[in-house]
Structure 1
Amino acid sequence: MKDFDVAIVGGSYAGMSAALQLARGRRQILVLDSGQRRNRFASHAHGVLGQDGRPPADIAADGRTQLLQYRNVTWIEAAVESAEQNGEKFRVSTRQGDSYSAARLILATGVRDGLPDIPGLEERWGSAVFHCPYCHGYELEQAALGVLAVGEISMHHALMLPDWGPTTFFINESFVPSAEQLRQLAQRNVTVERTPVSHIAGERAAVHLQDGRVVDLAGLFVATQLQHPVPLAQQLGCAFEETPMGAVIQTDAMQATSVANVFACGDAARAAGNVTFAMADGAMAGAAAHRSLMFEGLM
C-alpha cells in the first residue's frame, strides 16, 4: 500500500485547488476522483473570473492538465468507498478494492442536489431549472422567472430574483408566509402563487398548476437539499453543521474538520457553493494541510 503525504478525495474544483497548493509545496499528493462534478448538468459556467461562459467540463479539464504537470501528483480515477484512521495515518479504500495511506486527508467529495418530487423538474436541472441566480440569472435576459418554494428558506430566493426578471413565487403548500413576508414580497413586486404545482413541461419551464393554469417561464429556481454521495466524513467521525439546505461538514477558518488532520472543502463543507467558492476553499484546505505537515512536532 503506497504512502502519500496527503490524499484528496474528489478531483473537481475544490480538490484540484487543494492539490495545487500541496504540489507546489513539493509534497507527495494523491487525488482520487470519481468524475461526478456537481455542475456537470450545466452547459456553461458563469461568474468565474477569467473563465466566464466556458463549459465547466473544459475548466475542469484545463485544471487537471495543469495539475498533472507536477510530478509529485498521482491521479487515480476511482470512487472511494471508505476512509479510516490507521494509527497516525489514514487509509482510503476504493470500490475496486485498492487502498492507499496518507498522513493527511482532504475531503472534497462535493454533494448531490436533491430536488422536490415534481414531474419534469429533474429533466430540466441545469438547463431551465437552477439554484443560483448569480450563476445563471443574467443569461435569462430579464424574462419571466419563478421560484419554487421548498420551505421558508425559499423566501430568500424569491426576494433575490426580481433583480434578474419579473418573479412568480410558487408557494406549493411548503409554508405559510407571514404578513410581514407578504409585505416584503409585494415591495419587491413578486407575484405570489398559492395553487400547488402539478408538473413542469415545455421547452423551458412551463409550470402547470393543479387548477389547469400554466405559467410560462424562462427559468425556475429552487433550493435543493444537499446530499453527500459517500459517507466518508461520517465514517471518520467528523462533526456536521445543520443548514436549511441540509447538513454540511463542519470546518474552521482553515477548513479543518473536528477530526485532527482531516480537512474538508468545497460544496461538502458549505451551504452555498459555486466554482469560485470551491476553488478558494480548496486553496485554504491545501495550504492548511501543508502547514500542519511543516510544523508537525515543532515545539
Structure 2
Amino acid sequence: MQHDVIVVGGSYAGMAAALQLVRARRTVLVIDAGQRRNRFASHSHGFLGQDGVDPAEIAASARGQLEAYPTLTWVEGQAASVSGSKDDFSVFLAGGETHTGRRILLATGVSDQLPPVAGLAERWGKTVFHCPYCHGYELDRGRIGVIATGPMSVHQAQLLPEWGDVTFLVNGAVTMEAEARQELLRRGVMIEQTPIERIEGDAEVLLADGRRLTFAGLFTASRCSPATPLAEDMGCELMETPMGIQIRTNDAKETSILGVFACGDAARVPHSVSLAVGDGAWGGAQLHRSLVWPES
C-alpha cells in the first residue's frame, strides 16, 4: 500500500502533523523508534493544558487519539534509509520492512550533546536542564548553577536570575570578555572560574580545588543535532544555528528535497513541547496543501 504521507518520528511534532493529515482523511504511516527527547523527565511544564503532566502520559494519550482515525497506521521501528522522489518514496526500516508514500515528513527530533562533566548525563532531565521555562519555576527560587558550554551559555546565565540566584560555572568552556562579565554581574550572577571535577548528589558540584557548591538545579546549553542521520543521508540541506545543527526548511516546512518536509526540534529553534506541537501542526497542514495543489 502506498500511503499519502510517511511520518518518520512519532513524538509530539510528528503526532501533531499526523493529526492534521488524518483529519483530512489522508492515509498516514507513522514510524517511531520510541526515543522521545524528554523521556528522562518525569514532568512536562509550560505546555498549556498539560502543565505538570508526565510527558510519557501526554505522548500515550496523543497516540491513542490518533489511532482512533482509520487512515492512521503506526509502526514501531527505526527508519534506516529513504529512496525515491516526490509521489514515489520508499522508506526502509532497520528490521527489513519497506513502506512507500507520496510524501515524507521528518519529525525525528534531536539528540543532545552534553558537556563532558562526570555525573551530568545521569542527571539530565532530572536535576540538570536546558530550558528555564520548562523547569525553572519548580526550583522555587533556589540556587541555580549554569554550566558553560559556549557563547550561548552566557545568554542562558543572563536569563536565569528570573528563577533564582545564579552561579555561572565557566569550566574552561568560554573566554569571559569584559562586556559579558559586566552584564552577568549586573544581573547579579556570580562567576566561578574553577573547573568542575564532577557532579554528585542531586545537584552538588565538586570543584577541582575541593570546594562543593550545592544547587537546587543545574542548567546547561546542550548542542543539538538531528537524532538520526536520515535527513543528511537523503541529501537534505542542513543549517547551523546557535544551538547546533538543524534541517533547513522553507516557510511551508519543506526541505531542499521536493516532497520531503521536516518539523519539530529537528527543524526549528528554540525547543519545547508546545513549540514542537505547533510546528508539527503547521507542517502537517502545509504538507496537506502540497497534496491538494502538487504544482504550487
CA 136–267 in structure 1, closer or farther in 2 if over 3 Å, else same: same
Contact 1:238–1:249 at 8 Å: present in 2 too? yes
- Deviations along 1:160-183, one digit per CA (max 9) or x if unpaired, are 110000000001111111111111
- Deviations along 1:35-90, one digit per CA (max 9) or x if unpaired, are 11000000000000000000000000010000111000001111111112257411
- Separation (CA, whole Å) in 2 of partners of 1:125 and 1:291: 39
Contact 2:206–2:212 at 8 Å: present in 1 too? yes
Question: What residue is the counterpart of 1:258 in the other structure?
Answer: 256
TM-score (norm 2): 0.98
**1:63 corresponds to 2:92:** no
Question: What residue is the counterpart of 1:287 in the other structure?
Answer: 285
Contact 1:85–1:236 at 8 Å: present in 2 too? no
Q: Which of the residues 229, 232, 247 maps onto 1:231? A: 229
Residues 94-243 of structure 1: pairs in structure 2 closer than 5 A: 94-202=93-201, 204-243=202-241
Contact 2:80–2:94 at 8 Å: present in 1 too? yes
Question: What residue is the counterpart of 1:89 in the other structure?
Answer: 88
- Separation (CA, whole Å) in 2 of partners of 1:293 and 1:221: 43
Question: What SS is found at the alignment partner of 1:195?
Answer: coil
Question: What SS is found at the alignment partner of 1:41?
Answer: coil
Greater shift, 226-235 or 2-11, is seen at 226-235
Question: What SS is found at the alignment partner of 1:162?
Answer: helix
Contact 2:226–2:247 at 8 Å: present in 1 too? no
Q: Specify every segment of 5 or more residues in structure 1 that has no aligned partner in the other structure, as ranges.
A: none
- Separation (CA, whole Å) in 1 of partners of 2:145 and 2:252: 37
- Separation (CA, whole Å) in 1 of partners of 2:167 and 2:152: 16
Question: What residue is the counterpart of 2:20 in the other structure?
Answer: 21
- Separation (CA, whole Å) in 1 of partners of 2:86 and 2:192: 57
- Separation (CA, whole Å) in 2 of partners of 1:228 and 1:265: 11
Question: What SS is found at the alignment partner of 1:242?
Answer: strand
Q: Specify every segment of 5 or more residues in structure 2 that has no aligned partner in the other structure, as ranges.
A: none
How far did 1:113 drift?
Answer: 1.0
Contact 1:4–1:28 at 8 Å: present in 2 too? yes
How far did 1:236 drift?
Answer: 1.7
**1:8 corresponds to 2:7:** yes
- Separation (CA, whole Å) in 1 of partners of 2:252 and 2:40: 30
- Separation (CA, whole Å) in 2 of partners of 1:87 and 1:55: 38
Question: What SS is found at the alignment partner of 1:168?
Answer: strand
- Separation (CA, whole Å) in 1 of partners of 2:83 and 2:176: 45
Letter in 1 for 2:235: G
Question: What SS is found at the alignment partner of 1:51?
Answer: coil
Question: What residue is the counterpart of 2:29 in the other structure?
Answer: 30
Cα RMSD (Å) of the superposition?
Answer: 1.1
Letter in 2 for 1:137: G
How far did 1:271 drift?
Answer: 3.1
Greater shift, 39-48 or 271-280, is seen at 271-280
How high is the sequence identity, in percent, across the aligned residues? Answer: 51
- Deviations along 1:85-138, one digit per CA (max 9) or x if unpaired, are 257411111111001111100000011111111111011111100000000000
Contact 1:9–1:108 at 8 Å: present in 2 too? yes
- Separation (CA, whole Å) in 2 of partners of 1:86 and 1:254: 18
Letter in 2 for 1:37: R
- Separation (CA, whole Å) in 2 of partners of 1:88 and 1:197: 53
- Separation (CA, whole Å) in 1 of partners of 2:176 and 2:252: 38
- Separation (CA, whole Å) in 2 of partners of 1:89 and 1:263: 14
Question: What residue is the counterpart of 1:296 in the other structure?
Answer: 294
CA 297–196 in structure 1, closer or farther in 2 if over 3 Å, else same: closer
CA 5–88 in structure 1, closer or farther in 2 if over 3 Å, else same: closer
- Deviations along 1:135-174, one digit per CA (max 9) or x if unpaired, are 0000000000010001111111100110000000001111
